[in-house]
Amino acid sequence: MNAKTATQAYAAVEIESGVHAADPHKLVAMLYQGALLAIATAKNAMLRKDIPAKGAAISKAILIIGEGLQASLDKNVGGELALKLDSLYGYMCTRLLQANVNNDVAALDEVARLLGELKGAWDSIRQTVMAAESKPVPQVAAPNKQPALVYGRM
């Protein structure tokens, strides 16, 4: 087994392990990161004039956005925000197709910027939730009994 094959196998196992251990919020963050990585790979391939690699990377980004991020939206629960995100994801996929056909680095940069902003907002939500969950759980003492833990959020 050569070093490249070993590295790819390790990366695949690491990603699969991360997916199995991730909560739903982390999974969406991983989708954002994967799409951004695919776009960076496409841009690099485009600049090197490596057409097959460019096409494969753009296809991967479209797959992550369309079948990952967009398909996971719950429009019934998410309301107007979910509908707007659905439209934005559709726009991103269209721009990526245009970037592929026209070798348009600016289109790749635009989609990467949009995804980066969404990922930043998503990550800040996670930080807020994690901070709220890490608050100490108060104890309530009953007369002549051991203190009991109070479960739930305050």
pLDDT tens-digit series, residues 73-127: 998 888 999 999 999 999 999 999 999 999 999 999 999 999 999 999 999 987 7
Q: In angstroms, how far is CA 99 from the centroid of its own chain?
A: 21
Using 50, 70 and 90 to split pLDDT, how confident is the model at 131? confident
Residue 25 has pLDDT above 80, yes or no: yes
Question: Phi first, then psi: what are they for 116, rounded to 5°?
Answer: -65, -40
Environment class of 131 (CB within 10 Å of its CB; exposed 0-12, middle 13-18, buried 19+): exposed
Domains in the chain, CATH or no CATH each: 3-149 (1.20.120.340)
For residue 149, list its beta bridge partners: 139
Q: In angstroms, how far is CA 95 from the centroid of its own chain?
A: 18
pTM of the predicted model, to two decimals?
0.73
Percent of the chain residues topping a pLDDT of 90: 60
- Cβ(86)–Cβ(75) under 8 Å? yes
| Distance of alpha carbon 77 from alpha carbon 42, whole angstroms | 34
What sign for the dihedral angle of Cα 142, 146, 149, 154?
A: positive
Rg (CA), the chain: 21
**Would you list the DSSP string of 45-114?**
HHHHT-HHHHHHHHHHHHHIIIIIIITT--HHHHHHHHHHHHHHHHHHHHHHHHHHHHT-HHHHHHHHHH
